[in-house]
A = this chain, B = another copy of it.
Amino acid sequence: MSTLVSRLRESLPDGAVLVDDDVTASYAHDMASFCPAGSPAAVVLPRTTEEVRHVLRVAHDLRVPVVPQGARTGLSGAANATDGCVVLSLTRMNRILEIDPVNRIAVVEPGVVNADLSKAVAAHGLCYPPDPSSWEQCTIGGNIGTGSGGLCCVKYGVTAEYVLGLEVVLADGRLLRTGRRTAKGVAGYDLTRLFVGSEGSLGVVVGATLALRPAPPPQLVLAAEFDSTAAAGEAVCRIMAGGHTPSMLELMDRTTLRAVNAMTRMGLPESTEALLLAAFDTPDPAADLARVGLLCEEAGASSVVPAEDAAESEMLLAARRTALPALEAVKGVTMIDDVCVGRSELGAFITGVERIAAEHDLTIGVVAHAGDGNTHPTVCFDARDPEESARARASFDAIMALGLELGGTITGEHGVGVLKKEWLERELGPVAMELHRGIKAAFDPLNILNPGKVF
């Protein structure tokens, strides 16, 4: 048994340290394509903060990299193992410690599954808005590491806006508390936000105090069909410039609609170029849908269908939820881009992606959180075909370049990880990168924490 494993086991219970190669290999990857992963020396499944501290102290002493993991639903390779690392899987630290309806906060361990928290707070009439597509698997710790978003963001914002305070184990095993339990607070630098989206490179989150909202009324959904993506983009602009605040504003292109039909026989309108789904969870959602429907018509919608009730809304949402699995079924594998542009650039961006798909002879479906300009161009390819895989990777990069040209960002909510780290400096520039390295050195001078990720 290696020194690493024997020292890890000194203060950890039986079953907390896994070393069998087959088992550790199953922890090597998150869900991103094209991201290399190494072989972990061990996988540790701690149940307490003290156990996490022990792991970090040992790793720090022995200069062994530590890769923190949640449910490995990430799409950028940020949770991928590196050779000889300790994978620190936080999934067993999954207790909801407190739900406080007066102060509208929840205190949770990092391994709590997003959907479990949502259900638990719903029982108190509350809501934890961030809703990544993987919400039934992904963990709050992973959401914090990535800075996750979801369908809710157009009205309710991203994970970062719901993290009030953190407990973090630092690279050398020291315990840090950041932030607060109160609604407001500006004492010192905002260390809390610095950890959100830092992909485990600055510390290991072992506890989080989260802000909650009152549960909104059920949303009502409208579907609008368009003969061009430009018209759909125009509708998005009119809706947002018109002062509306939809609880959801999603767009699917023709490629995506076809894929959904092929998988589910939903009978979506394949001849249309874009389908827009708008939802409102206001006191009178039908009135809001009527106003937004009119704006869609003014932008050139060929059909506008407001749902009459929750059941019809659910049917329309099911189409959106099926989009990614359906695109995956096209060729077996997908690579999901995450470019966010200004809403006013949405039409130009989607047109540009169509051009990139044609140039690379690929199927690329676009689903987008249109209300906040966050698009997920999804490249479909056959991973067994090296030549097609190379074109897929090239198109992925072309899409990021297009996003930057249009003033956007390479990642709206999936993070940088391994997949986009060559691109980070292109977006941020050398001065910002130098500050990144300075911050990393202040938090993790030995570069123990998730090395080789982000930058």
CB-CB contacts below 8 Å: A168-190 with B: 170, 174-178, 180-190
Q: B214–A244 contact, CB under 8 A?
A: yes
Asked if A344 is at the interface (CB within 8 A of a chain B CB), the reply is yes
Contact (A374, B101) CB under 8 Å given A243-B214, A439-B439: no
Q: What would 7 A/B residue contacts be, using CB atoms closer than 8 Å?
A: A101-B240, A149-B184, A176-B429, A183-B343, A185-B411, A186-B413, A188-B424
Contact indicator B443/A435 (Cβ below 8 Å): yes
Interface flag for A428 (CB, 8 Å): yes
> Can you list the 4 inter-chain pairs with the closest CB atoms, starting with the nearest?
A438-B442, A183-B372, A214-B243, A147-B186
Please report the C-alpha to C-alpha distance between residue A371 and residue B186 in the assembled complex, in whole angstroms. 17
Q: Which residue of B lies closest to A287 (CB)?
A: B283
Cβ of A276 within 8 Å of any chain B Cβ, yes or no, is no
**Stretch in contact with the other chain, from A39-47, A65-73, A193-201:** A193-201
Q: A214-B243, A214-B244 are in contact. List 5 more A-B contacts (CB 8 A).
A: A157-B161, A182-B372, A184-B374, A185-B340, A191-B435
Query: Do A194 and B183 touch (CB < 8 A)?
Result: no
Contact in complex: A102, B174 (CB < 8 Å): no
Q: Of B126, B176, B438, which is within 8 A of A443 by CB?
A: B438
Interface flags, A418-449, vs B, CB<8A=1, else 0? 00100010011101100110110111000000
Interface residues on A, range: 35 or more
Residues of B within 8 A of A147 (CB): 186, 190
Report yes or no: A435 in contact with B442, Cβ–Cβ below 8 A. Answer: yes
* This chain: copies in complex: 2
Is A110 located at the chain interface by the 8 A CB criterion? no
Say yes or no: is A141 at the interface (Cβ < 8 Å to chain B). no
Give the most central of A103, A214, A240: most B CB within 10 Å: A103
A340 proximity list for chain B (CB < 8 A): 180, 182-185
Given A243-B214, A411-B187 in contact, is the A181-B431 Cβ separation under 8 Å?
Answer: no
Whether B431 contacts A170 by the Cβ 8 Å rule is yes
Q: Is the CB of B243 within 8 A of A102?
A: no
Q: Are A188 and B241 in contact (CB under 8 A)?
A: no
Residue of A101, A153, A410, A442 ringed by the most chain B CB atoms within 10 A:
A442
A248 close to B (CB within 8 Å) = no
Residue in B102, B372, B411, B432 whose CB lies within 8 Å of A186: B411
Q: Is the CB of B241 within 8 A of A102?
A: yes
- Asked if A282 is at the interface of the complex by the 8 Å CB criterion, the answer is yes
A174 touches B431 (CB 8 A): yes
Determine the residue in chain B with the shortest Cβ distance to A176: B431
Known: A158-B184, A182-B373, A189-B439. A343 touches B102 (CB 8 A): yes
Verify if A415 is at the interface (C-beta below 8 Å from B): yes
Structural contact, A428 and B188, CB atoms closer than 8 A: yes
